[in-house]
A and B are shown apart, each in its own frame.
Chain A
C-alpha cells in the first residue's frame, strides 16, 4: 500500500490524463486515439481507457508532438500551451508552466463539441481561452 504513495511520474501522469478524459465523458470506458508512443506507454494499463486504431472510432484524440491527418476531427487534448492556443480542436491541455504542471480546458471549444467538464476539474475550465 505505502509504495503507491511514492509512485513514479508515469503513474501520476496516467492518473491525471485519465481524470481529464473521464471528467468530459459520460461513458465508463473512453476510446482514445494517439500516435504518441509515450501516451500509449503511460495509459495502456488503464481499464477505462481504450486505444483505437482509427481516429473515427475515438471519443478523444491525445496529441503529443506528432501531427495527425486533417480528416481526424475529434476533440483533442494536447500537451503544449502553444499547441493549445492555436488548435481549434483542443478542448484541454496538460502542460508545464512556471515550474509546475497544470491543466486547462477551453469553455469555447468544449461548447463546440457539446462537452462539459464535471466534478472538481471544472475549476480548470477557462472562458477566456
Chain B
C-alpha cells in the first residue's frame, strides 16, 4: 500500500512538472477559440478544436464527420458529400446546414452547401462546431436537423506565413499557403490551396466508377474595427461516379462547379448588441453526365435507351441579409431577428440525350423570417431557452402554391455545475419539400414536412473521467416521396437515437474518447425501419516531439451488408516550432463500412434491383509537411 502511495505521489509530481514549452502548449489548448464561439443553447455540441484537427491530421471536413451520432460521412451516386444519402434521391442532406464564420453556405438547388463543403480542405480552419438535435432556429435561415459551423483562423494569432503540403496514395496531393497580419485596427488572413484527390476506382460491368477531383480554393478575411469581410472562391471539378445511371453503367462524365462568396458583418451600438450580416453566394454548376443505358433523370418510361446523357449548366444564387438585436432585460437574454433570403436558380440550360429541355429546373424563392429567442437565467447555473421563428415563402417557381408559411418552435433547459451538464430540448420544425424537385414533377405542390424532436444530453466528470449519455426521439409527420406526385406516400414515422460516451483525460496532452450509439429510423425509400449500430474510439497521445493519433469507427446497418470498421492512424513529428512532418493512414485495413448504391439489371424485359457496395472512405496513406515563417 505504501509503495502504491509513493508511486502515486511520484506520478503526480512528474505529471505536474511541465517545462515552459509544455505550458505554452497547454495554454494554447485551453484557450482554443471554440471556447469563445460555441453556444451551449444552440444544441448538443461536438467541438473539434484546433489542437484536435492538427493532431488528427484531418485534411478535410469529411474526416470529422465520421464520429457523430446522427450520421457518418457518406456520398451520393454522383460522388458528392451527402451524409443522409439515400437512393434514388439526387440530394438528401438539405437539412444539414453548414456555416463559415457564421455565414451560411447554401444552395437554391440542394438546400445546403454541404455538397461543396462536405469534404472541404481544412487548412484555413481553426475549429469546427457541430450541433445535433433540435438546433436553434436563431442560427440557420431554414430549419436544420444538424448544423456544422466552421471558423477560419484568427489573424491575430496567425501572424506570418504558413505553408502546408501532403502527398498521398494514388498520386494525390494538396498544397496550401496562407498569410496573416494583425495590427490594432486591421487584421487580415489570406489562404490559397490546390488539391488533386485521386480516389479508389471501381468497376461495374466494364464501366469505371471514378470520384477523382481537382480543387482550387481561395479565402480571405479582413477585420477592421467592428466590421468583418469575407471572400471565397472554389473551383472544383470531379468525375461523377455513377453519373445517375439507372444500370450502373456510366461513361466518361464529370461535374464542375465554381463558388464565389462575399460576406460581411458589422456591429452597432456601444455594446455591439446590434448586428447586421450580409452574404452572397453564387455557384455555377456544370453537369456533363453520360451513360450506357438510361439515366435516372430521364426516368423509367424510357428504360431501354442504348445511351443517355444530361448536359446542363445553371447559376445558383443565394442572397442573405440578417439583422439581430440582443437585449438583456433582468434575467432575460433576448435575441430579436429579421432575415431576408433569396434563392435563385437561373440561366439553366439543360440537354437530355441531346434534346433541349424546354422546362428546365428553376428555383425562385424569397424567404422572409422573423425570430425571437429568450435565454432566461433561472438560477446562476440554469437557463431556460425558448425560441420561435416564422418564415414566409414567396415562391415564383412553377408550383401550385405561390406563398406559404412555416414555423419553428423550440424550448430547452440547460443546467451546469463544475462537474456536470444536463440539456433537454423540445422542438417542432416545418420543412417545405425542396423546390427544385417540385418543379421537375407535374402538378407539383408544396408539402410541409413537420418534424417533432425531443433530445436529452447528460455529461458528468468524475476525476479524469467523463461519462455521457444522449437520447433523441424524432417523429416525421407527413413525410412523402417527392419524386413523383403519383407515388406520394404519406406516413407518420418514429425515429430513435441513443448514445453513450466515455472520455478519459490522462493529462494535458493525452486523451481517449469513445462513443457507442444506436439509431432506429424510418427509411422512406424502402418503407421499413432501419437500425444503425455504431462505435467510435479515438486516442490522442503526445510524447516529446511526437503526436500520435489512433481512431476506429464502427458502423453497421442491421440486417444489411453495410458493416465495417474504419481504422485511422497518424504520427506527427515537430522537428522545430516552425517545421512539422506528418504521416497518416486512413481506413488502413480497407474495412470501412460501405454504402449501398442501387441499380437495375434487366432480366429479359424484367428489371431486377441490384446493389453496389462501395466505401465513401478510401484507403489512403499521406505524408505531409508544414512550415511557418
- Where the two chains meet, the residues of A that have a C-beta atom closer than 8 Å to any C-beta of B are 1-9, 11-13, 15-16, 19, 65, 81-82, 96-103, 120-121, 124
What is the CA–CA distance of A96 and B32 in the complex, to the nearest angstrom?
12
Does B508 make an interface contact (CB < 8 A)? yes
- Mark contacts of B140-158 with chain A using CB atoms, 8 A cut-off: 1 yes-contact digit, 0 otherwise: 0000000000000100111
Closest residue on chain A to residue B156 by CB atoms: A96
Tell me which of B11-19, B80-88, B596-604 binds A.
B11-19
Residue of B nearest to A124 (CB): B20
Smallest CB separation, A39 vs chain B (Å): 15
> How far apart are the CA atoms of A82 and B184 in the complex, in Å?
9
A98:B628 contact, CB within 8 angstroms: yes
A16 touching B578 by the CB < 8 A rule? no
Interface magnitude class on chain B = 20 to 34
A97 touching B160, Cβ below 8 Å: yes
The reply to whether B30 and A8 form a contact with Cβ atoms under 8 Å apart is: yes
Chain B contacts for A103, CB-based, 8 A: 20, 24
Measured in the bound complex, the distance between the Cα atoms of B183 and A39 in whole Å is 20
Please give the distance in Å from B408's CB to the nearest CB on chain A: 35
Known: A98-B159, A100-B577. A16 touches B27 (CB 8 A): yes
10 inter-chain pairs at a CB distance below 8 angstroms, sorted by A residue, are: A2-B463, A7-B26, A12-B27, A12-B30, A13-B31, A16-B24, A96-B159, A99-B158, A100-B25, A103-B24
- Asked if A16 meets B20 with Cβ closer than 8 Å, knowing A2-B464, A98-B628, A99-B153, the reply is yes
Report the bound CA distance from A46 to B532 in whole Å. 52
Q: Which residues from B are CB-within-8-Å of A7?
A: 26, 30
* Per-position 1/0 for B439-481, Cβ under 8 A of A: 0000000000000000000000001100000000000000000
8 Å CB interface, B571-626 against A: 577-578
Q: Tell me which residues across on chain B come within 8 A of A99, comparing CB atoms.
A: 28, 50, 153, 157-158, 162, 628
> Which residues of the partner chain A approach B153 to less than 8 Å between Cβ atoms?
99
Give bound CA distance, A3 to B463, whole Å: 6
Q: A4: which B residues are within 8 A, CB to CB?
A: 16
- Rounded to whole angstroms, the CA-CA distance of A13 and B463 in the bound complex is 23
Q: Shortest distance in angstroms between B188's beta carbon and chain A's nearest beta carbon?
A: 15
Tell me whether B378 is interfacial, beta carbon within 8 Å.
no
Q: 10 closest A-B pairs (Cβ-Cβ)?
A: A9-B31, A12-B27, A96-B157, A9-B30, A98-B628, A2-B464, A98-B160, A5-B507, A12-B26, A2-B463
> Residues of B contacting A5 with CB < 8 Å?
15-16, 464, 505, 507-508
Nearest residue (CB) in B for A14 is B27
* Contact in complex: B27, A13 (CB < 8 Å): yes
Distance, CA A2 to CA B578, complexed state (A): 31
* Contact in complex: B20, A121 (CB < 8 Å): yes
Within 137-183 of B, Cβ neighbours of A (below 8 Å) are at: 153, 156-160, 162, 183
With A97-B159, A98-B159, A98-B162 as given contacts, are A12 and B578 in contact (CB-CB < 8 Å)?
A: no
Residue of A nearest to B505 (CB): A6
Looking at the complex, which one of B19, B35, B183, B508 makes contact with A6 (CB distance below 8 Å)? B508
B interface residue numbers (CB < 8 A to A) = 12, 15-16, 19-20, 23-28, 30-31, 35, 50, 153, 156-160, 162, 183-184, 463-464, 505, 507-508, 577-578, 628
Instruction: Give the distance in Å from the alpha carbon of A16 to the alpha carbon of B26 in the complex.
Output: 11
Point out the residues of chain A lying under 8 angstroms from B35, CB to CB.
9
B-chain residues with CB within 8 Å of residue A15 when the two chains form the complex: 23
Task: Indicate if the CB atoms of B23 and A12 lie closer than 8 Å.
Answer: yes
Residues of B within 8 A of A12 (CB): 23, 26-27, 30-31
* A11: chain B residues within 8 A (beta carbon): 30
Bound complex: CA A96 to CA B628 (Å):
13
Nearest to B54 among chain A residues (CB) is A99
- Assembled-state Cα–Cα distance A64/B350 (Å): 60
**Residue with the highest number of chain B CB atoms closer than 10 Å, among A82, A99, A102:** A99
Task: Tell me if B628 and A82 are in contact (CB < 8 A).
Answer: no
Closest to B35 in A: A9
> A1: which B residues are within 8 A, CB to CB?
12
Given contacts A7-B26, A96-B159, 12 further A-B contacts (CB under 8 A): A3-B463, A5-B505, A6-B505, A6-B508, A7-B30, A9-B27, A19-B20, A82-B184, A99-B28, A99-B50, A100-B577, A102-B24
Residues of A within 8 A of B508 (CB): 5-6
| Minimum Cβ distance to chain A for residue B151 (Å) | 13
**Across-interface contacts of B30 in A (CB, < 8 A):** 6-9, 11-12
The residues of A that contact B26 with a CB separation of less than 8 Å are: 7, 12
Instruction: State the Cβ distance, A124 to closest chain B Cβ, in Å.
Output: 8
CA distance A102 to B184 in the complex (A): 19
Given contacts A5-B508, A97-B159, A16 and B23 within 8 Å (CB-CB): yes
Which residues of B are found within 8 Å of A13, using beta-carbon distances?
27, 31
Report the separation of the CA atoms of residues A98 and B157 in the bound assembly, to the nearest whole angstrom: 6
In the assembled complex, the Cα of A103 lies from the Cα of B20 at a distance in Å of 10
CA distance A91 to B99 in the complex (A): 42
Q: Say how far A118's CB is from chain B's closest CB, in angstroms.
A: 13
Residue of B27, B31, B158 with highest tally of chain A CB at under 10 A: B27
Contact status B159-A81, CB under 8 Å: yes
Nearest-neighbour CB distance to chain B for A94, whole angstroms, equals 9
Tell me which residues across on chain A come within 8 A of B507, comparing CB atoms.
Answer: 5
How far is A5 from B25 in the complex, measured between Cα atoms in Å? 12
Which partner residue on chain B sits nearest A81 by CB separation? B159
> Chain A nearest CB: distance from B591 CB in Å?
34
B19 partner residues in chain A, CB cutoff 8 A: 120
In the bound complex, residues from chain B placing their C-beta under 8 Å from that of A101 are 24, 27-28, 31
